[in-house]
Amino acid sequence: MTELKTEEAKRLENAGYEIVGKHSAVEVCHYTKSSLLGKSGCYKKKFYGIQSHQCVQMTPAASWCDQKCKHCWRANEKFQGMTMDNETDEPEEIIEGSIKGQLRKLTGFGGNPNVLKDKLEEAQHPKHFAISLTGEPTLYNKMSGLISGLRNKNMSSFLVTHGQHPEALEKLRDENSLPTQLYISMEAPNKDLHKKLDVPLLKDAWERVERTFELLPTLKCRRIVRITLMKNLNDLDELIPQFAKLIKKGDIHFIEVKSYMHIGGARKRLDFENMLNHDEIKIYSEKLAKELGWKVINEAPSSRVCLIAKEDYKWRVMPFASKDIKEIEKAPFA
């Protein structure tokens, strides 16, 4: 049975997580809180239309991952393991538990005079799941049911993976359970750098990543590569053609280029100087866009992130207020 150990559950709770069932967790995102206070939301609102105050940040794999990424701001050296067995919680239990956990965490906001009451009311009815909080979500063997369950509730799903489990993505495709938006987190465009920065625990990790990029064009969902740049480690101009080659192979819709942030557990592995400022992110983004023949279509300086695409697609920003999620998900392929 896959289950968080007592000491690990306590560590996560002390870090602000709400434990859901045996192996999942939810945490109220900084941008959710910011949105409720009438301040700026997540860059995903600007880029894709996500309402930060209605977004649930969670994971079905709270302490399981098969990478020890240098830039990860979680305490990944304390993760329980790199595999999850088949005795796991049911998707509906995780969905309902995550929503309840989020709402419990938001209870205290009702007494804050600075909170926007209309947004707090809307926050009681989440519309988005960011399956990205910590760990490697695709290790959860019932992801198809989780994503389908969200779709049946007219909720969007953003799934983030490091790309070492192409078979899991293939299963989502074959079971018609692909997420609204699929993120491949990519910090290295070659095997040696991948081993250095992502510290994979599987011997054939890079070959798995390559298979994932070969598979991506067959996945009918919004496909995104997120590149986290670390100064003097993977922001070298010589890597740009290698990044571009993989991106072309994956037939990607969007690329997010963002800076490493010197927070959390990452402070033990990298230095403050490894962060890039937004101007540096934009310069690198423009170089990558030029290599691809694409363009930088948007940016969020406060988050040090740029968005690259072939064009600024009319379906980029999703109309969650006026359209059904199934209709929204079909738009890129209409």
pLDDT of residue 266: 87
Q: What is the pTM of this model?
A: 0.96
Q: Are 292 and 225 in contact (CB under 8 A)?
A: no
Mean pLDDT computed over 271-277: 97
How sure is the predictor about 57, in pLDDT bands with cuts at 50, 70 and 90?
very high
Q: Are 208 and 194 in contact (CB under 8 A)?
A: no
Answer left, alpha or beta for residue 163, where phi above 0 means left and psi between -120 and 50 means alpha: left
Could you read off the pLDDT of 295-312 as tens digits, one per residue?
999 999 999 999 999 999
Mean pLDDT of the chain: 96
How sure is the predictor about 1, in pLDDT bands with cuts at 50, 70 and 90?
confident
Q: In what order do the strands lie in the sheet with 295-300?
A: 18-20, 24-27, 55-59, 128-131, 156-161, 181-185, 222-229, 254-259, 305-309, 295-300
pLDDT of residue 321: 86
Tell me which CATH homologous superfamily contains domain 6-333.
Aldolase class I (3.20.20.70)
Could you read off the pLDDT of 106-151 as tens digits, one per residue?
998 988 999 999 999 999 999 999 999 999 999 999 999 999 999 9
What span, in angstroms and rounded, lies between the C-alpha atoms of 112 and 152? Answer: 33
pLDDT of residue 122: 96
Q: How do beta strands 305-309 and 295-300 pair?
A: antiparallel
pLDDT of residue 300: 97
Does 276 score more than 90 pLDDT?
yes
Does 200 score more than 90 pLDDT?
yes
Q: Which residue has the tokens 């942030």?
A: 261
Does 327 score more than 90 pLDDT?
yes
What span, in angstroms and rounded, lies between the C-alpha atoms of 66 and 81? Answer: 8
What span, in angstroms and rounded, lies between the C-alpha atoms of 89 and 96? Answer: 12
Mean pLDDT computed over 217-242: 98
User: What ranges do the domains of the chain cover?
Assistant: 6-333
Distance of alpha carbon 137 from the chain centroid: 10
pLDDT of residue 74: 85
Q: Are 59 and 143 in contact (CB under 8 A)?
A: no
Tokens of 146: 């989780």
Does 258 score more than 90 pLDDT?
yes
Mean pLDDT computed over 87-114: 96
What span, in angstroms and rounded, lies between the C-alpha atoms of 208 and 202? Answer: 9
Query: Residue 163, Cβ neighbours under 10 Å: how many?
Result: 29
Could you read off the pLDDT of 154-171 as tens digits, one per residue?
999 999 999 999 999 999
pLDDT of residue 77: 84
Could you read off the pLDDT of 58-82 as tens digits, one per residue?
999 999 999 999 999 888 888 898 9
